[in-house]
Structure 1
Amino acid sequence: MDTRSLFLRHVAQTSDAPIGLHIISADGCYLYDADGNAYLDLIGGISVCNIGHGNKAVKDAVHQQVEKYMHIMVYGEVVQSPQVQYAKLLTDNLPSGLDCVYFTNSGTEATEGAIKLARRATGKTDIVACNNSYHGATLGALSVMGDEYWRNAFRPLMPGVWHHNYNSDAFVDAINENTACAIIETIQAESGVTVPSADWLQRVRTRCNETGTMLIMDEIQCGFGRTGKLWAFEHYGVVPDILLLGKALGGGMPLGAFIASYSKMNVFTHQPVLGHITTFGGHPVSCTAGMAAFQVLLQENIIREVAAKEKLFRELLVHPAIKSVRSKGLLMAIELESRDAVLSTLQRCLQKGLFSDWFLFAANCIRIAPPLTITEDEIKKAVAILLKCL
């Protein structure tokens, strides 16, 4: 059996029609398959590879850490410099109330930890979440996911979760004295890039303050410069009580985190002791890769160029088949007539060397979330291919 057949037979599948490319290498904004084909990457591993594929600084840092050690002990029991240094670097670049990092293996684990933290710290259990939201696929994260099609097969889920529309008065009004946390994506991604109004976010923040509710903001997809600011919440003048990070956090390695104040996070140390624990969360190699990638993001001119790149995409994406373009920085959704139109367009793009995807809750939209390092010429090439395939 060839490698693709082995993949289909022995690797658990998540759909009946995987893309199925056999990628053997990646560099910059390009992927290369086993047949020698190159693909311009417009999804960056779903907002993971923000500084591009194969960055030398990241690879060198990983190699150096592997030579020292890979795994020592479960999370939180021994001092591991990569965890400590990365936590310090992250909190140095966050508001003062976000000064304590709990590293996990993934974004969905960060969601689970944040829910536990909010319930433990407030003594309350109700949660207000958004329709068309995505925070991961484990049971707690699935409970706050905002689409019944994806939830229904796994019921019963966590009780006490109330869903309302993003940007709605009903969401704000649902937050009350029984609410442990309100959880939102700063920019809704899987809905096809839904951008909040600053007024709505500020009203959510105010209502949380009034009711003693913790505000969880999920920047797993929209953080790390993707919107043109380091953190998407900076656009709106709102700071969460708990920040969720993942994807680009690891610089291409598996890593997630939830970040809160030291005083709140300290509840995990007692009643019970080891109230939240993980074996591989904050793995030293992942923290090393993430820190190296974050340093590249901070030191180079990457984030400052995002707005101009967004503008170029929007100027070029003009075609009768395009119903709308929604974006915040380099997180973009191109709306077509139907899901079938999207799938056929994506297949034609793949044949011409352009790699993209769709959205979970907006299957009639094409996802544009390339490495932030994509060049002007690469943007022009990508859009030219896409327009020919519509």
Structure 2
Amino acid sequence: MDAEQSFYQHIAQTSDHPMGLVVDKAEGPFIFTRDGKRYVDFISGIAVSSLGHRHPSVIEAVQQQLNKHLHVMVYGEFIQEPQSKYAELLTRQLPPQLDRVYFVNSGTEANEGALKLSKKHTGRHHFVAFRHGYHGDTHGSLSVTGRDVYRDPYLPLLPDVEFLEFNSPEMLESIDNKTAAVILEPIQGEGGIIPADREWLRAVRERCSEVGALLIFDEIQTGFYRTGTLFAFQHYGVVPDILCLAKAMAGGMPMGAFVSSSKIFEGFKQDPPLNHVTTFGGHPVSCAAACATLSELLKGDFGTKARHIEQKIKSTLDHPAIREIRGRGAMLGMELEEAERTRQVVEDCFAEGIILGWTLHSNTLVRLAPPLIMEDALLDDTLHTIMDILDRHW
């Protein structure tokens, strides 16, 4: 039985119509299939491959660590150089109060840990989240995801979660002295690429500080220069109490983290000790890859590159079929007028060798999230092909 047959017969499926590419290899901005076709990965594996696929620095770091050791002990017991080195490099890029990192394996685990840490630190159990927000599919993360169609099949979820309207200042009084934490994305990703309003986000920060609630920023999609700054909160001048990261963190290796202050993290050491643990979080190979990824990002002017990609996309994709292109940097959403035509555009682009996709909460919004290493010639060619396909359907 070949890989394709095994995929359809033995891999648990998440939809009736998977994209079904039979991947042979990937390099830079491209994915190559077993039949020899080349695809432009214009969504970066959903905001993961910001440095493209198999970046040489990441591959070298992985190979070097493979020659030393793999897993040796559950999280937090042995001192491992890749963990320590990366934690130091990461926290040096952050405000001084975000001085300690807890490594996990994925974005939803980062959010789960942040929710638990908030309850442990504050002694409260009420959470505030936002409609159309997305924070993952494990039970805690799903509990604060603001889309009933994904929540309803798994009810009951965590109690005491209240959903407010994103960017609505009128509802902030719901954040009170019973609130453990407010969790939000500075730019809602799966909700339709919706940036937070600057003054609203500052008001959320002030309200949390006023009532003693923690503010959690889910930067799992927005992190690592995707929006034009290393982290999206830097656009706003607002610092969270807990910062959640994943996706582009380790250059294609599985990894996530939540970052907070030493004071807040004290809760995980006491009453009882070891009250939040992980076996594979901070895997040395993933940490080595993450350190190489961040080092590479810091060497290049990737914030400028993300903003350049935004300018090129917005200036080139000028078509009557497009209602709006919104977002920041290389995290953009192209809103079209009608769901069926949107599907046709995405499918035709796929047939022409361009991988696009929807967000989870919208069937008229096309995700545009190219790798930050994409050169102008390829970017131009890709955008002009998209324009030609739009012409076919309008």
Task: Give, as a single letter, the amino acid of the residue that structure 1 aligns with 2:291.
Answer: M
State the identity %: 44
User: Structure 2 CA distance, aligned partners of 1:71 and 1:280?
Assistant: 7
SS of 1:133's partner is: coil
Match of 1:379 in 2: 379
The residue that corresponds to 1:189 in the other structure is 189
Instruction: Report SS of the residue matched to 2:358.
Output: strand
CA distance in 2, matches of 1:106, 1:242: 16
Paired letter, 1:37: K
Are residues 1:102 and 2:102 paired?
Answer: yes
Distance, in Å, in 2 between the alignment partners of 1:19 and 1:231 is 30
The alpha-carbon distance between structure 1 residues 108 and 385, as it changes in their structure 2 partners (threshold 3 A), is same
Deviations along 1:313-342, whole A, 9 cap, x unmatched? 100011121111112110010111222222
Q: Quick check: 282-291 or 168-177, which moved more?
A: 168-177
Number of residue pairs matched by the alignment: 390
Map Cα deviations across residues 183-242 of structure 1 (whole Å, 9 max, x no partner): 000111112110111100100000000000000001100010011111110111100000
- For the Cα contact (< 8 Å) 2:55–2:251, is it kept in 1? no
Alpha-carbon distance in 2 for matches of 1:362, 1:14: 17
TM-score of the superposition, structure 1-length normalised? 0.98
In angstroms, what is the RMSD of aligned CA positions?
A: 0.9
Quick one: distance in 2 between partners of 1:326 and 1:304? Answer: 18
Q: Where does 1:71-82 land on structure 2 (aligned, <5 Å)?
A: 71-82=71-82
Structure 1: unaligned runs, 5 residues or longer: none
The correspondence of residues 275-286 of structure 1 with structure 2, limited to 5 A, is: 275-286=275-286
* 1:336 to 2:336 alignment: yes
Q: Shift of the alpha carbon at 1:5? A: 2.1
Q: Distance in 2 between matches of 1:89 and 1:57?
A: 16
Query: 1:243 is matched by which residue type in structure 2?
Result: L
Moved over 6 A (4+): none
TM-superposed deviation, 1:301: 2.2
Structure 2 counterparts to residues 15-164 of structure 1, below 5 A: 15-164=15-164
Alpha carbons of structure 1 residues 2 and 388: separation in structure 2 relative to 1, 3 Å: farther
User: Aligned partner of 1:177: which letter?
Assistant: N
CA contact (8 A) 1:103 1:281 kept: yes
Distance 1:97 1:87 in 2: 14
Deviation per CA, 1:350-369: give whole Å up to 9, x if none. Answer: 11111111000122111001
Which amino acid in the other structure matches residue 126 of structure 1?
A: H
Question: Is 1:249 aligned to residue 240 of structure 2?
Answer: no
Q: Report the alpha carbon displacement of residue 385 of structure 1 after superposing the two structures with TM.
A: 1.3
8 Å Cα contact 1:130-1:171 kept in structure 2: no
| TM-superposed deviation, 1:171 | 4.2
Q: 1:190 to 1:20 in 2, by over 3 A?
A: same
Residue aligned with 1:240, SS: coil
Moved more, 374-383 or 65-74: 374-383
Tell me the residue number matched to 1:358.
358
Identify the range of structure 1 (59-68 vs 371-380) with the bigger mean alpha-carbon deviation.
371-380
